[in-house]
């Protein structure tokens, strides 16, 4: 539209100027044409992702005049009341200044106008506003006599920025769309912002394609602005709608990419190690049992309730068929009672018969299946793992490194990336029961090389976030941690301090200004307190500590020649702690066997692991990186439960 106006005003100018103008006009049109062909819709939806508009260099300005579909959730809103205009349901939107605008926040409007709304709704017989949730109820309210324009800031999670969407009250009832959290999908035209401010463009809605209202404003937790992170934890299913958790999720996503990217660039093969295992990989007692003994007991108690499904029959539920059977019987009874239509009755009876047949078939199949499992059913007073699903006690894996070794001792360098589990009852801001770890194992590598690989990985991850998450890091810098970028840059550029355990002990012993909870002495394990003192106070940069006393490290770590220390290392990062723990593992079968005996570990479970040493053993080293801690490191968030989508910890699980 703009070029046309320019052209007409140019009509009185000299021919030369006109030619120039025409050229400019053509160029502009070309550019616009180009732009028009450059709004890719989200590949598997009609909508355009907001990032596509707002992350352009021109912040979408070149797309003015385009018709698009966009969808998202309301982050904030305001309503501007106006004099009732003539109804104009089908005309195109009229950009330009509006009359009677009032710049009030959503909350103010709601507080002030809720009674008025309620009165209107009652007058129109719509009933309790909070109970309406389908588009079916909208027709009434379209005739709402007070006309207004609603300005919504909507976000679709693709970027930090939100888009202003202008919706006239003739299209959707303001009382519904004004509420934070409302989902809206609209078709509209991109236009220059009508309200000024920071916006580069806005979308003037012409059709509301979908509306997902907030049923009860009071109960919806995100109605309140800026809830603290610890409160949001109770609403894990809603919190990705907040800017902070959305940013963390995108950064977490980028870090996942970076992790795979690092290993793949360095020739590591990805191996999916098992979650269910019988191997105690760290002599760690607090493991989760994986069992079917408990639910068997339960299903015995209530045999009719279980909706056991047979896998051969893809995705079918006997309970579901039975429910349908019941429903159909009712239908037949109803038809018999009313005697309304003989044909319909016959059809219904036929249908009922078929369903009945199906139910019998399924039931027979399930009985057969159940007969098989009977041997696994156990009364709780005679717990015997030979009756359990795997015929022995099985656990959730604590670490995948032992299984990875099996692949390293065949394929060279391998890595794994998956969930690991510890049933620890302590409350910590650094650990939960289920955490993701990236683990690497390298054949023909020794301690030094594992340390250097761990260092490179850590630097790679920090660099990746700085380079690929610019917008989100700006937000984190502003709202979470003002020193975050500097800290990440320092991890990328400084040489990590590398000290043996004995030196760490010597240094900590000399500390006078602090009394540690656990006394420092050669042989003690380093606590979080010790570790953070070294990284945060003394070196002020990442520290690698290596050659630990054998007593403080797992049985599989390679014994050094001194007979006292083992080739383990930890990478400690300021403010976050030990993000990587690694080691060269024992390749000598005799030493390994002695160590297992010394620790009183049940050697039977390690026979397969010892097998790897007995047959073609190789020197090898590796490490585990606690991925969730890396997200802490990258975001400056202080509690790990805020960077994990659905955190699980002692007594805490809600979905």
Binding residue for its own copies (CB under 8 A) from 104, 138, 236, 345? 236
Least separation in angstroms between residue 507's CB and its own copies is 17
If binding is defined by CB under 8 A, does position 559 make contact with its own copies? Answer: no
- What residues from 496 to 515 belong to the interface with its own copies (CB under 8 A)? none
Residue closer to its own copies (CB basis): 120 or 436: 436
Q: How far is the CB of 58 from its own copies (least distance, A)?
A: 20
One of 37, 125, 315, 562 touching its own copies (CB under 8 A): 315
Whether the Cβ atoms of residue 85 and residue 109 lie closer than 8 Å to each other: no
306 interacts with its own copies by CB under 8 A: yes
CB 156 within 8 A of CB 132: no
User: Which residues inside 402-461 make contact with its own copies, applying CB under 8 A?
Assistant: 403, 406-407, 409-413, 418-419, 421-426, 428, 431, 433-434, 436, 442-445, 449-450, 452-453
DSSP 40: P
HEC readout, 44-79: CCCCCCHHHHHCCCCCCHHHCCCEEEEEEEEEEEEE
H runs (alpha helix) in 339-482: 342-373, 401-411, 447-468, 470-479
Give, as one character, the DSSP assignment of residue 386. Answer: G
Alpha-carbon span 60 to 50, nearest angstrom: 10
Given candidates 293, 335, 499, 632, which one binds its own copies under the rule CB under 8 A?
Answer: 293
**Under the criterion CB under 8 A, does residue 390 sit at the interface with its own copies?**
yes
Contact region for its own copies (CB under 8 A) — 100-108, 109-117, 498-506, 596-604?
A: 596-604
**Cα–Cα distance for residue pair 114/178, rounded to 1 Å:** 12
CA distance 74 to 138: 18
Options 7-15, 31-39, 84-92, 234-242: segment touching its own copies (CB under 8 A): 234-242
Asked if residue 563 binds its own copies (CB under 8 A), the reply is no
Among residues 169, 355, 532, 585, the one that binds its own copies under rule CB under 8 A: 355
526 sits near its own copies (criterion: CB under 8 A): yes
Q: Does 269 bind its own copies (CB under 8 A)?
A: yes
Q: Contact between 75 and its own copies (CB under 8 A)?
A: no
Give the Cα separation of 121 and 542 in Å (integer): 62
- How near is the Cβ of 152 to its own copies at its closest, in Å? 12
The C-alpha atoms of residue 257 and residue 259 are separated, in whole angstroms, by 5
CA-based radius of gyration for the chain: 33
Residues 144-203 that bind its own copies (CB under 8 A): 156-158, 181-183, 185
Report the residue number, 138 or 275, with the smaller CB distance to its own copies.
Answer: 275
Give the Cβ contact number of residue 88 at 10 Å: 11
Q: Which of 56, 192, 238, 490 binds its own copies (CB under 8 A)?
A: 238
Q: By the 8 A CB rule, do 186 and 69 touch?
A: yes
Question: Nearest 5 degrees, angle CA 206-CA 208-CA 214?
Answer: 140
Provide the CB-side half-sphere exposure for 343 (13 A, CA): 0
Q: Which two tokens stand for residue 215?
A: 């049923």
CA torsion sign, 492 to 497 to 501 to 507?
A: negative
Find the binding residues for its own copies in span 598-617 (CB under 8 A).
Answer: 598-601, 605, 608-609, 611-617
Nearest CB to its own copies, comparing residues 33 and 350? 350
Sole window of 112-120, 191-199, 502-510, 516-524 interacting with its own copies (rule: CB under 8 A): 516-524
């Amino acid at each position: 539209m703009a070029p046309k106006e320019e052209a007409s005003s140019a009509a009185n100018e000299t021919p030369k100027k006109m030619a120039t103008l025409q050229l400019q006009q053509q160029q502009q049109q070309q550019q616009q044409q180009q732009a028009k062909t450059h709004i890719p819709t989200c590949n598997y939806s009609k909508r355009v992702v907001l990032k596509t508009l707002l992350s352009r260099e021109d912040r979408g300005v070149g797309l003015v005049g385009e018709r698009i579909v966009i969808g998202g959730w309301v982050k904030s809103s305001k309503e501007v009341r106006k004099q009732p205009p003539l109804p104009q349901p089908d005309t195109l939107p009229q950009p330009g200044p509006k009359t009677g605008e009032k710049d009030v926040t959503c909350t103010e409007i709601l507080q002030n106008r809720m009674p008025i709304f309620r009165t209107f709704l009652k007058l129109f017989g719509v009933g309790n506003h909070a109970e309406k949730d389908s588009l079916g109820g909208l027709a009434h309210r379209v005739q709402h006599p007070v006309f207004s324009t609603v300005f919504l800031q909507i976000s679709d999670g693709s970027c930090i920025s939100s888009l202003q969407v202008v919706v006239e009250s003739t299209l959707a009832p303001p009382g519904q769309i004004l509420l934070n959290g409302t989902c809206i999908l609209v078709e509209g035209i991109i236009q220059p912002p009508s309200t000024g401010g920071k916006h580069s463009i806005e979308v003037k809605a012409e059709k509301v394609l979908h509306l997902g209202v907030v049923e009860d404003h009071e109960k919806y937790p995100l109605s309140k602005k800026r809830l603290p992170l610890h409160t949001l934890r109770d609403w894990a299913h809603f919190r990705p709608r907040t800017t902070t958790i959305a940013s963390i999720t995108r950064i977490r996503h980028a870090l996942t990419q970076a992790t795979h990217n690092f290993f793949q660039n360095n020739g590591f093969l990805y191996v999916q190690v098992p979650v269910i295992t019988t191997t105690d990989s760290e002599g760690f007692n607090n493991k989760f049992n994986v069992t079917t003994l408990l639910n068997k007991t339960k299903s015995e108690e209530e045999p009719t309730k279980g909706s056991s499904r047979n896998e051969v029959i893809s995705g079918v539920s006997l309970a579901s068929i039975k429910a349908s059977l019941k429903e159909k019987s009712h239908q037949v009874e109803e038809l018999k009672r009313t005697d309304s239509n003989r044909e319909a009755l016959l059809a219904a009876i036929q249908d009922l018969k078929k369903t009945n047949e199906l139910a019998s078939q399924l039931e027979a199949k399930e009985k057969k299946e159940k007969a098989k499992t009977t041997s696994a059913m156990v009364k709780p007073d005679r717990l015997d793992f030979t009756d359990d699903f795997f015929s022995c006690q099985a656990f959730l894996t604590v670490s995948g490194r032992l299984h990875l070794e099996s692949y390293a001792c065949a394929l060279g360098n391998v890595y794994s990336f998956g969930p690991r589990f510890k049933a620890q009852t302590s409350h910590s801001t650094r650990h939960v029961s289920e955490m993701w770890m990236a683990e690497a194992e390298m054949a023909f590598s020794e301690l030094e090389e594992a340390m250097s690989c761990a260092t490179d990985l850590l630097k790679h991850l920090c660099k990746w976030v700085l380079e690929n998450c610019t917008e989100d890091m700006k937000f984190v810098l502003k709202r979470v941690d003002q020193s975050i970028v500097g800290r990440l840059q320092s991890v990328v550029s400084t040489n990590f301090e590398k000290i043996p355990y004995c030196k760490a002990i010597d240094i900590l012993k000399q500390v006078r200004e602090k009394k540690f909870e656990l006394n420092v002495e050669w042989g003690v394990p380093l606590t979080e307190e010790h570790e953070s003192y070294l990284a945060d106070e003394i070196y002020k940069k990442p520290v690698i500590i290596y050659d630990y006393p054998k007593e403080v490290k797992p049985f599989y770590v390679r014994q050094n020649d001194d007979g006292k220390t083992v080739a383990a290392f930890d990478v400690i990062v300021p403010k976050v702690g030990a993000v990587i723990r690694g080691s060269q593992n024992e390749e000598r079968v005799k030493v390994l066997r002695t160590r297992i005996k010394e620790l009183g570990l049940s050697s039977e479970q390690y026979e397969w692991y010892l097998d790897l040493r007995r047959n073609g053993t190789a020197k090898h080293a590796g490490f585990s990186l606690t991925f969730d801690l890396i997200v802490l490191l990258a975001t400056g968030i202080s509690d790990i439960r805020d960077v994990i989508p659905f955190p699980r910890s002692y007594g805490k699980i809600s979905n």
